[in-house]
Amino acid sequence: MALSRPSIDGLHALLRDPAASRLPASLRELLLQAWDAEGTGHQASLPWPVIADTLRNLVALDADEPALAAALLYDLPGLRAVVAARVCAQWPAVTGLLDGQDAADQVWALHAGREAGRNGEGLRRLLLAIIQDLRVVPVLLSRQLARMRAAQDLPGEEQRALAQLTRDIHAPLANRLGIWQLKWELEDLAFRALEPDTYRRIAHELDESRADRERYIESVKAQLGRALAVHGLAAEISGRPKHIYSIWRKMQKKQLPLDKLYDLRAVRVMVADVAACYAALGVVHSLWVPVPGEFDDYIARPKPNGYSSLHTAVVGPEGRTLEVQIRTREMHEQAELGVAAHWRYKETGGSAAGKGAGRAFERKIAWMRQLLEQASENRDEGLAVALDAELVEERVYALTPKGEVIDLPRGSTPLDFAYHVHTMVGHRYRGAKVNGRIVPLGYRLRSGDKVEILTGKEPDPKRDWLLPANGYLASGRSRDKVRAWFHKLDRSRNVQAGREMLERELKRLGLQSADLAPVAKKFHAETVDDLYIQVALGDVGPHQIGRALHELERAAEAAASQAAPALPPRPASRQARARPRPGFTVEGVGNLLVQLARCCQPVPGEPITGYLTRSRGVTVHRAECASFARLAAAQPQRVLPVEWGSGGSGYEVDVAVRAVDRKWLLKDVTTLIAQEDAHVADIRSDLHADGRLQLRLRLRVNDYGQLATLLGKLDALPGVERAWRLG
């Protein structure tokens, strides 16, 4: 926007404006002192009338002091540099409001650098995602309305660019937040700048029929008022304004000329309560003939955003169609203040983005409305802090190198981004740069990240992408595309790939000798080969099969133990009368010492069994432990059923890692273990002549699931050839 040089008395005049009286006296004094003392303060980014109009718009929305202060400081950049630290120290909320306006500049720059009208919804959602304090939105809307009111003084190209930004971003935001008093004017002003001929034509036709329309509405109001009074209904009746942009949208939607639109003639009836709404509806329908299919009961069936009213159309006096809205005063106040998101039924058919916005986006809008509603009731800054803390953003809005916004689930990776752009971009994925830096495959994107996908010439998806434990894909849509790729491969290749993946995982967990045939039925696989195919396609994870194997073995052992004779325990020594370890439950036997077997080191989640020793109480083994099998064969009467309990603070297990020796290997291993919330009790390393290093670690883990996940991630570290469990 072209700027006018402010006069030396500009700020003095601005602070005398009634809107500025809402600012604290101490803040006004601070601004004036800095303005008079600092030459850099004598600059404004907008003309003074626009700045004053912005403040008046905010006052009309009942904005609080930090919002007013942030709006003013943002438009006075020189002054902001001088006093921002002192202002933000006294009003901490101003910091977030200023940062939010700075963040919005990123969206404006993206809009200016792309083709108008493309992905406006994505930019609106990006804006809501990157601002931390949602009070920034009314500030942005108020400033844009003030700029649009003064836009007629701008050159044509600047005026159109400003109007396009308003139509793409600001007007839809005001619409979605239900701020009607800003929404309709932003739409009309943008429409006037972008479609001047159409705007003037509709305005001219409305002016020609205005007198007749006003006469007709007055006649309807008088006739309806008398009928309601006869039935004892006290009501306030008014003509309902129609705005030029709204009229043009209706003409486009229904393909009708202006004189064929029935709702140009509209009245609104406000009564005391809901019962009176339906009574008034009965009076309207008895007075005039209703138009079939034009009645909507938003009281019995409110809109998802809470909007409530009765809408009907009738053939009124002189045979003219008339629209009537009936609501209580409370419904009217809520609708006008923004509780009802008018966009849901005003926008043609509901945009795809609106319909698919998701619960998180709707919850954010709901909190925004609540913030606006409560602004006049509670000016405590803690309110805004509490509301912002509740906003759980479940979407991420990342950018392509050309500035297009890609909407992804929270937790998405660059690989998700690639598949969202195009299936073949994902299939050819080789790496990614985020904000100019190479990132790993599991990097979690954040709103505002600019992502560049690095691709190869040929598609080459990896089956490891499908494993949830790796965390390479967060989107079900992306996983479906990877599965579809592997579905196209021939059966033998899928069987072989699935067998290798499953055997690698089971060997890593010490389950390589397990029989897979019983487990296949549980996963609706007719044969083991079918189970391998499910693993290869990502329909079943290796961890799931491991758990299923444990469950089957546990059930078989429990059934066998019921028939086995139990050996009465010997009286234990005083030292052995310690309470059992809280992580185990030994069926039928109490007051015995319980300890883990060193030979196999079971962890929670695995099938286990107990062996009653002569001097050390009950030793707990893994069900498939070779040492236990020899003991049980020799003295089966000493076998005891044992189950995992709810207690315990961790269980030790030995793990080996074989890798190519490199710098930072040990650091990467220990960092990963810490990130997975496991603990290192002991670590030893051996360097072989071929340059490979073998680490032996004693880890403390919580359960089987944590161990399985940890082994998978260790195996995926650069340079690691194999990670497996010992014993």
User: What's residue 417's pLDDT?
Assistant: 93
Question: What is this structure's pTM?
Answer: 0.51
267, 284 Cβ separation under 8 angstroms? no
Residue 240 shares a structural domain with residue 328 = yes
Alpha-carbon Rg for the chain in angstroms:
36
Q: What are phi and psi of 455, to 5 degrees?
A: -120, 155
Distance CA 361, CA 353 (A): 11
Residue 120 shares a structural domain with residue 22 = yes
List C-alpha distances in Å: 570 to 106, 156, 567: 78, 100, 9
Distance CA 700, CA 651 (A): 5
Tell me if 558 is assigned to some domain: no
73, 166 Cβ separation under 8 angstroms? no
- pLDDT confidence band for 413 (50 / 70 / 90): very high
Other Cβ atoms less than 10 A from the Cβ of 601: the count is 23
Residue 253 shares a structural domain with residue 330 = yes
Pairing of strands 236-239, 289-290: unpaired
The string of pLDDT tens digits covering residues 431-446 is: 999 988 999 888 999 8
Tell me if 357 is assigned to some domain: no
Pairing of strands 266-271, 321-328: parallel
Q: What is the mean pLDDT of residues 496-503?
A: 82
Distance CA 529, CA 557 (A): 27
The string of pLDDT tens digits covering residues 159-188 is: 898 998 888 888 887 776 667 678 888 988
User: What's residue 119's pLDDT?
Assistant: 60
Residue 175 shares a structural domain with residue 68 = yes
Q: What is the mean pLDDT of residues 249-264?
A: 70
Where does a domain end: 611, 644, 677?
Answer: 644
Q: What is the mean pLDDT of residues 217-224?
A: 91
CA-wise closest residue to 188 among 137, 151, 240? 151
Residue 624 shares a structural domain with residue 686 = no
- pLDDT confidence band for 210 (50 / 70 / 90): low
Tell me if 374 is assigned to some domain: no
Residue with tokens 């990006």: 126
Distance CA 657, CA 696 (A): 7
Distance CA 724, CA 722 (A): 7
User: What's residue 386's pLDDT?
Assistant: 35
Residue 604 shares a structural domain with residue 711 = no
Residue 163 shares a structural domain with residue 81 = yes
- pLDDT confidence band for 355 (50 / 70 / 90): very low
Give the residue numbers spanning the domain of 308.
204-337
Distance CA 351, CA 148 (A): 25
Distance CA 134, CA 148 (A): 22
Residue 254 shares a structural domain with residue 113 = no
Percentage of the chain exceeding pLDDT 70: 76
Using DSSP's 3-state secondary structure scheme, residue 517 falls into helix
Residue 418 shares a structural domain with residue 546 = no
- pLDDT confidence band for 372 (50 / 70 / 90): very low
Tell me if 559 is assigned to some domain: no
Residue 182 shares a structural domain with residue 322 = no
Residue with tokens 């509709």: 202
Q: Among 98-102, 510-514, 531-535, 712-716, whose mean pLDDT is lowest?
A: 510-514
Residue 237 shares a structural domain with residue 322 = yes
Virtual torsion, Cα 476, 479, 484, 488, nearest 10 deg: -160
User: What's residue 225's pLDDT?
Assistant: 93
Q: Is the pLDDT of residue 390 over 50?
A: no
User: What's residue 6's pLDDT?
Assistant: 45
Percentage of the chain exceeding pLDDT 90: 14
Distance CA 138, CA 179 (A): 9
The string of pLDDT tens digits covering residues 268-310 is: 999 999 999 999 999 999 999 998 888 889 898 876 545 689 9
Where does a domain end: 337, 358, 377?
Answer: 337
User: What's residue 373's pLDDT?
Assistant: 45
Mean residue pLDDT of the chain comes to 76
Q: Is the pLDDT of residue 201 over 80?
A: yes
List C-alpha distances in Å: 559 to 511, 546, 611: 21, 20, 17
Where does a domain end: 447, 462, 487?
Answer: 487
Distance CA 76, CA 70 (A): 10
Residue 130 shares a structural domain with residue 16 = yes
Q: Is the pLDDT of residue 546 over 80?
A: no
